[in-house]
Amino acid sequence: MRVFADIQEVAAAKGEHLGCTDWFEIDQERINTFADATNDHQWIHTDQEKAASGPFGATIAHGYLSLSLLAFFSPQVISIEKKPTMSINYGLNKVRFVQPVTVGSHVRDDVVLSDVKETGKGVQVTMAHTVEIEGKDKPALVAEALALWVP
């Protein structure tokens, strides 16, 4: 984990690799809970028996479930001692779901601090995320996540 004193120190690290998170297991309970939260109960996510004979050989995590983990992963790679008053999700750029995450897979996030710039509302921070799947050549997803840090 990279620990920064303040936003100015973060800005000076623009372009740097922040690190990788620990591996995190995607289990069926998490997939089912996400399906309930989003009302997306498509069989490839929730019907283990049918999915076993489907195209992926098992149930798969929703792409948006994998994407939602960025909020869980980010604090594992970056911390600021003098925290901003608030941090707001500001959006996403260039999201691509590269490969499905089958149930039981372990994923982790590899993060680069892509950009840091002052705006009239605060500091916009862009982080490039690559969510990797343990043992696979291709990642689950790649995305640029934007946050607005209000000093």
CATH number of 19's domain: 3.10.129.10
Residue 38 lies in a domain: no
Residue 143 lies in a domain: yes
Residue 35 lies in a domain: no
Residue 98 lies in a domain: yes
Percentage above 90 pLDDT, the chain: 97
Pairwise CA distance, residues 138 & 119, whole Å: 35
Residue 76 lies in a domain: yes
Half-sphere exposure of 31 (CA within 13 A, CB side): 24
Residue 51 lies in a domain: no
Interval 120-147: pLDDT, tens: 999 999 999 999 999 999 999 999 999 9
What residue numbers bound the domain in which 108 lies? Answer: 2-25+61-150
Q: By C-alpha distance, which of 19, 29, 18 is closest to 65?
A: 29
pLDDT confidence of residue 151 = 83
Sequence-separated (6 or more) residues with CB below 8 Å from residue 99: 133, 136, 138, 139, 140
55 is written with which tokens?
Answer: 């195209």
Whether 34 shows a pLDDT value over 90: the answer reads yes
Residue 135 lies in a domain: yes
Whether 69 shows a pLDDT value over 90: the answer reads yes
Count structural domains, the chain: 1
Task: Please tell me the pTM assigned to this model.
Answer: 0.94
Beta strands in 1-151 (DSSP E): 2-4, 17-20, 24-25, 78-80, 86-97, 106-118, 123-133, 141-150
Residue 82 lies in a domain: yes
Q: Average of pLDDT values for 33-55?
A: 98
Interval 103-121: pLDDT, tens: 999 999 999 999 999 999 9
